[in-house]
Amino acid sequence: MDISKLMFRDGLMEGERILVTGGGTGLGREMAEAFLKLGAEVHICGRRQGKLDQAAGELADRHGGTIVGHACDIRDPEAIHEMVDAIWRHGPLTGVVNNAAGNFISRTEDLSVNGFNAISDIVFRGSFYVTLDVGKRLIEEGRKASFLSILTTWIWNGGPFVVPSAMSKAGLNAMTQSLAVEWGRYGLRFNAIAPGLFPTDGMSARLSPGGRGGNSHDEMNPMGRHGEMHELANLAVFLMGPGADWVNGQTIAIDGGGFQAHGGNFYAALKDMGDEQWEAMRAMIKGTNAKDRAERST
């Protein structure tokens, strides 16, 4: 990210302690960098200790401050509880970004139950487990906080060829709207961002393996491009930082108008693929999954 394009003053987020799930890579790392740069203490979690150490080391070198990596698979509620205990020993969180995700393109008829669960256990269940564990502590201690979930525009119109992701993220949208109301009285607010394409390594390898597939929307976008990381980071800071405390229960798209123009999903790009192409895509995606798995510490 071009950090000079952050819209906010240094020190804006001093006193904030924010957990970003999936913060070692991709969009999570970018948001973590922005929060750190603006003075927040940042906690990132993920399944690969190496990626967390690398991100925390590089970002601390660049911006100073405190950023801590926690190896934690959010599919495991016990592991979440231990991580949040460790964070709480030094003080409460003031914010959580539910960013961690898993996804891959597939014809739905090619999915197994395990394939569905691999995605929904991370996105749908895992994000809820994190929200519940942190939320209970905040309610008990009477503290305010902000929760932000990273969704997609598919929550509004469905995601053909990414059905487990679309279903899971739509569920998190319902969580955002529900808890904004139910837990608003405790001073806890819930918002979400629905990004269009912000290409990352993890996403491109699974949604556009080999460069073909879902990640080819730039020319269809009204603004002729994909998103830039500082644009996402600015919106995340606005929603997580002090000063926007009355924004609650909102899901905000950031996609250059792609959703309005062409629905924002992958139907057009993938509908004509045949068996052989799907087989090749699946092989590439599984290769990426295996490589990532080998780097995992949890």
Q: Residue 293 interacts with ligand HXC (CB under 6 A)? A: yes
Query: Considering only residues 228-257, where is the footprint of ligand HXC by CB under 6 A?
Result: none
Q: Residue 218 interacts with ligand HXC (CB under 6 A)? A: no
**In sequence order, what are the residues at sequence separation of 6 or more whose Cβ sits closer than 8 angstroms to the Cβ of residue 255?**
153, 194, 195, 196, 197, 221, 227, 264
| Beta strands, E only, the chain | 17-21, 41-46, 67-71, 95-98, 145-150, 188-195, 251-254
| Contact call for residues 282 and 110 (beta carbons, < 8 A) | yes
Q: Residue 98 interacts with ligand HXC (CB under 6 A)? A: no
Cα–Cα distance between 255 and 151 in angstroms, integer?
Answer: 12
Q: Which is nearer to ligand HXC, 39 or 159 (CB)?
A: 159
Cα–Cα distance between 108 and 97 in angstroms, integer?
Answer: 29
**In sequence order, what are the residues at sequence separation of 6 or more whose Cβ sits closer than 8 angstroms to the Cβ of residue 43?**
17, 18, 19, 20, 23, 67, 68, 69, 70, 87, 93
Q: Which is nearer to ligand HXC, 22 or 241 (CB)?
A: 22
Q: Which is nearer to ligand HXC, 69 or 102 (CB)?
A: 102
Query: Considering only residues 132-161, where is the footprint of ligand HXC by CB under 6 A?
Result: 152
Smallest separation, CB 153 to ligand HXC (Å): 7
Q: Residue 109 interacts with ligand HXC (CB under 6 A)? A: no
Piece in contact with ligand HXC (CB under 6 A), picked from 34-42, 78-86, 107-115, 127-135: 107-115
Among 119, 138, 175, 233, binds ligand HXC (CB under 6 A): 119
Cα–Cα distance between 164 and 271 in angstroms, integer?
Answer: 17
| Number of chain residues interacting with ligand HXC (CB under 6 A) | 25
Q: Which residues here bind ligand HXC, judged by CB under 6 A?
A: 101-104, 106, 110-112, 114-115, 118-119, 152, 165, 196-197, 202-203, 206, 282, 285-286, 289, 292-293
